[in-house]
Amino acid sequence: MARVIAEKIPLYLGQRLVVDNRGGAGGVTGAEMLAKAVPDGYTLGVATVSTIATAPAMDPKVTYSPTADFTPIINIAATPNVLVVHPSFPANARDFKAFIAELQRRPDHYSFASSGEGGLGHMLMALFQSKTGTSLLHIPYNGGGPALQAVVGGHVPVMIANLPTALPHIKAKRLVPIAVAADEGVGTLLEIPTFEQLRLPEVNRLAFYGICGPKGLPRPIVDRLHAAVKRTLADSQVLEAIANTGSVVIGNSPEQFRDQIRVEFETYKKVVQTQKLRR
């Protein structure tokens, strides 16, 4: 998502952005660097739900506060998540009501895969369990790719996955979709209900990608960057590139993005407390 924006924003900002990947700890390494940067507008970061909500909610070793150590600028886009099972999952338990009944009938019998402890897939599934009265065993992997492959390979039966990466496997019938976390029905999965439609609005949470600066970024810089990104998001090539990832454009205000960050962080803090999660 950062590269999609960086490619076109020079037309509207008057200077280019260099994308610097800082991998490690599910994005926490990059977020920690951003939190310590000089607030002059020359160092920005892409905030995800993992970096500004699930990781700090789960891990006491995270050194930054998601609500105090960043200056929200704009949420670029959001991507649906999908609850999937391997085709070997009982055939009579693949609609949502029967799926829940099967999990409740056999607590801790089934396992789910995730990208790792404290990642979005882990925390969203923990939230799902708390709202449905179900209990599954957590199998963490080193990244979303290996976790998805474990489910596709039949080693683990259940996962909440990022829709764009899961969709090819759904189309090839290597995965069976049960429910989607999205604002509305999604493309070729219109027959699959959203968690909102299933009366689980708390679980109907999308992954998102927003731009933040360090704490104390002056408002004139925030406004200039926000305006440039908004104009970039109106570019037809950018819109097409974002749509091709399976995402939808958000483009909200700094204040709205700040509220989103607060809500996500507080939501997953509560999940950690109620589910007694530890890292």
Residue 176 sits in the same domain as residue 137: yes
- Judge whether residue 279 has pLDDT over 80: no
Written as one letter, the residue type at 183 is D
Spatial distance between the Cα atoms of 126 and 142, rounded to a whole number of angstroms: 18
- Under 8 Å between Cβ of 260 and 93: no
Residue 177: strand pairing partners = 84
Beta-bridge partners for 111: 137
Helix (H, G, I), strand (E, B) or coil at 19: coil
Question: Is there a contact between 176 and 89 (Cβ–Cβ < 8 Å)?
Answer: yes
If you average pLDDT over residues 233-257, what whole number do you get? 91
**pLDDT, tens only, 105-121:** 999 999 999 988 888 89
**How many independent structural domains does the chain possess?**
2
Of 104, 3, 9, 13, nearest to 46 by C-alpha is 3
Same domain, 144 and 217: no
Domain boundary among 203, 235, 252: 203
Do 52 and 151 reside in the same domain of the chain? no
Within this chain, do residues 68 and 7 fall inside the same structural domain, yes or no?
Answer: yes
187 has a pLDDT exceeding 70: no
Residue 175 has what pLDDT?
96
Query: What SS3 class is residue 12?
Result: helix
CATH label of the domain that carries residue 63: 3.40.190.150
Burial of 163 (0-12, 13-18, 19+ CB in 10 A): buried
Claim to verify: residue 85 and residue 72 sit in the same structural domain: no
Give the type of residue at 9: I
Express the helix, strand and coil content of the chain in percent, nearest 5 each: 45, 20, 35
Q: Which of 179, 203, 227 is the last residue of a domain?
A: 203
Q: Give the pLDDT confidence score for residue 92 in this predicted structure.
A: 84
Distance CA(137)–CA(172), nearest Å, equals 27
pLDDT value, residue 10: 94
Looking up tokens 């179900």 gives 134
Per residue in 140-174, pLDDT (tens digit) is: 988 888 999 999 999 999 999 988 889 899 999 99
The verdict on 88 and 196 lying in the same domain is: yes
Q: Is the pLDDT of residue 247 over 90?
A: no
* Domain C-terminal end among 156, 181, 203: 203
Residue 267 above 80 pLDDT?
A: yes
Rounded to an integer, what distance in angstroms lies between the CA atom of residue 34 and that of residue 31? 5
CA dihedral over 190, 208, 157, 171, signed as positive or negative:
positive
Whether residues 132 and 182 fall in one domain: yes
Are 170 and 147 part of one and the same domain?
yes
Does 46 lie in the same domain as 23?
yes
Q: Write down the mean pLDDT value for the chain.
A: 92
Same domain assignment for residues 193 and 88: yes
Domain at 158, CATH number? 3.40.190.10
Q: Coil, strand, or helix at residue 176?
A: strand
pTM, 2 dp? 0.85
Instruction: Mark whether 141 and 195 lie in a shared domain.
Output: yes
**Is residue 42 exposed (0-12), middle (13-18) or buried (19+ Cβ within 10 Å)?**
exposed
Q: What tens digit of pLDDT does each residue of 45-95 get?
A: 999 998 999 989 988 889 999 999 999 999 999 999 999 999 999 988 889
pLDDT in tens, 197-216: 999 999 999 999 999 999 99
Nearest residue to 47 (alpha-carbon basis) of 240, 186, 252: 252
Judge whether residue 245 has pLDDT over 90.
no
By the 8 A CB rule, do 148 and 113 touch? Answer: yes
Domain that holds residue 128: 81-203
> Does pLDDT of 43 surpass 90?
yes
Q: Say yes or no to pLDDT of 28 above 90.
A: no
Residues 52 and 31 in one domain: yes
Identify the CA nearest to 114 among candidates 55, 172, 171, 202: 55
